[in-house]
Amino acid sequence: MTDIANEQKPVVPAIPKGRSSGDTETIPVTQQTIQTLTKRVLELLFLLMFISTLLFFLLRLTGDPAAVLAGETGDQEQLELIRKQYGLDKPIIVQYGVFLYKMVQLDFGSSLANAQDALGLVFERLPTSFTLVIIAFTANLIVSIPLGAWLGSRPDRTGRKLAATAVFIAQGIPGYIIGLLLIQLFAVELRWLPSIGNQGILSWIMPAITLAAFQAPQVVRVISANVAEAMREDYIRTARANGAGFNTLLWRHALKNAMLGATALIGAQVSFLVGGSIITEVIFAWPGIGRLLVTSVQTLDFPVVQAAVFMIAIFVYFAITMTDIVFLFIDPRLRRQRA
């Protein structure tokens, strides 16, 4: 994701001394990697600060947090005990300080449901969710990029028009409906695939497709639009005049350039995929962090909710930063920044 501030620089940039050509200066990859990292870490800290503050005050604004923590069964004595235990009898500013101090140490307390360490519970579920998101992400790119390129290469042909319409309709179908349709077809009608839980390799198929379906149509459409635009550029005409075949033109020249515009979208994909993975995990009774989040939100198990939201934020940021840096190395054009 490129910095918006740099895209729309209003003033004509001063041309650096000793440089005669162009208004851009290439910043070394290492330096830009460090810049990206610093920026992302700053954003992540800001986000975590915001989330914890939001949770802290929401919990206190909406009533007595002790009552929430005690659940429906808590009597007066229990409430007092919980207030003492969690320091809820102290002034709110002190509580906030203590709360933030604990957040910094990643100390979320223990689950209200079964007294297990909240962070431990989340870590237990993290690998399954992580793998599912990675599989869906990769599958999405493997299918969407060639499909988009194919659609964009000759957008005026009848077959492609029909395919583009199908992609447009698919974009209007939310992922969880696709998940239900898949269950209906493959688990209920055909009985080919197990519909719930993680029972071996077969049970990964439907959740991965469902999750990939959350964003695949959008990627296809962006790539196809970019490729269609790239195919009209002068360098394509030059390459064609030099005798390059259609396939070379499309896959080596047009697609490469079309990917630049899609980079930002692909980075943002991770966030959508994580959002989608919550629903996917609930549909397929998947033992991951999303389902943990939903069940703990339903039972108002706040320590676990906090730990899960924190880990999701950290995971998303990790993934986005990785995408940023990988694309920085793949695509030399991203290394350029206006001087």
Mapping DSSP to helix (H, G, I), strand (E, B) and coil, where does residue 299 land?
Answer: coil
CB 145 within 8 A of CB 219: yes
Task: Give CA–CA dist 270/276, Å, rounded.
Answer: 10
From the list 78-86, 233-241, 298-306, 330-338, the region that binds another protein by CB under 8 A is: 298-306
Binding flags for another protein, 222-261, as an x/- string (CB under 8 A): ----------------------------------------
CB of 77 to another protein, least distance (A): 25
Residues 187-206 that bind another protein (CB under 8 A): 188
Using CB under 8 A as the criterion, what x/- string covers residues 167-186 for binding another protein? -xx-xxxx-xx--xx-xx--
Nearest CB to another protein, comparing residues 74 and 275: 275
| Per rule CB under 8 A, count of chain residues that contact another protein | 53
Quickly tell me which residue has 């990206």 as its tokens: 36
268 touches another protein by CB under 8 A: yes
- Closest separation between CB of residue 245 and another protein, Å? 31
Rounded CA separation 303/59 (Å): 12
Taken as a whole, the chain contains a residue count of: 339
Element (H, E) at 140: helix 118-153
- Taking the least distance from each CB to another protein, the nearer of 43 and 89 is 43
Q: What is the C-alpha to C-alpha distance for residues 241 and 234, in angstroms, rounded to an integer?
A: 10
Q: How far apart are CA 48 and CA 76, in angstroms?
A: 34
The H-assigned helical ranges of the chain are 4-7, 29-61, 65-70, 76-85, 92-104, 118-153, 158-171, 175-182, 205-213, 216-230, 234-241, 246-247, 255-283, 289-298, 302-330
Site string for another protein, 51-80 (x = CB under 8 A): x--xx--xx--x------------------
Q: Does residue 87 interact with another protein by CB under 8 A?
A: no
Instruction: Identify which of residues 225 and 250 has a Cβ nearer to another protein in the complex.
Output: 225
Q: Helix H segments across 214-288?
A: 216-230, 234-241, 246-247, 255-283
Alpha carbon distance 335, 273 (integer Å): 27
DSSP 190: S
94 is a contact residue toward another protein (CB under 8 A): no
Question: Contact positions toward another protein, by CB under 8 A?
Answer: 4-5, 7-8, 10, 39, 42-44, 46-47, 50-51, 54-55, 58-59, 62, 168-169, 171-174, 176-177, 180-181, 183-184, 188, 268, 271-272, 274-276, 278-279, 282-283, 293-294, 297-298, 300, 305, 309, 312-313, 316-317, 320
